[in-house]
Amino acid sequence: MVMQYRYKKSKERWKKYPGKAKLKESVGKYEFRLLNEAMTKVLVKPSTYSKVLKRFRQIEFFKHRG
């Protein structure tokens, strides 16, 4: 899965999420989304960092549940 980010209410392109420590500002100023590995399908619509991360963890849990 690929997480992307951009400034809220911005029309700029989505960028690949480099990690929380490498962002210039706090995560509250950005919106995030989650895509599949091929980047063809949006798994989580643009939302806050915590909501996207929560869904990411749910997907990973069920994927490796076995």
pTM: 0.89
Average pLDDT by stretches of 10, the chain with 66 residues: 95 95 95 96 96 95 84
Give the per-residue pLDDT at 63: 86
- Amino acid present at 60: E
Collapsing DSSP to helix, strand or coil, 13 comes out as: coil
> Residue 18 is part of which domain span?
2-63
Number of structural domains (the chain) is 1
Specify whether the backbone of 30 is left (phi greater than 0), alpha (psi in -120 to 50) or beta.
beta
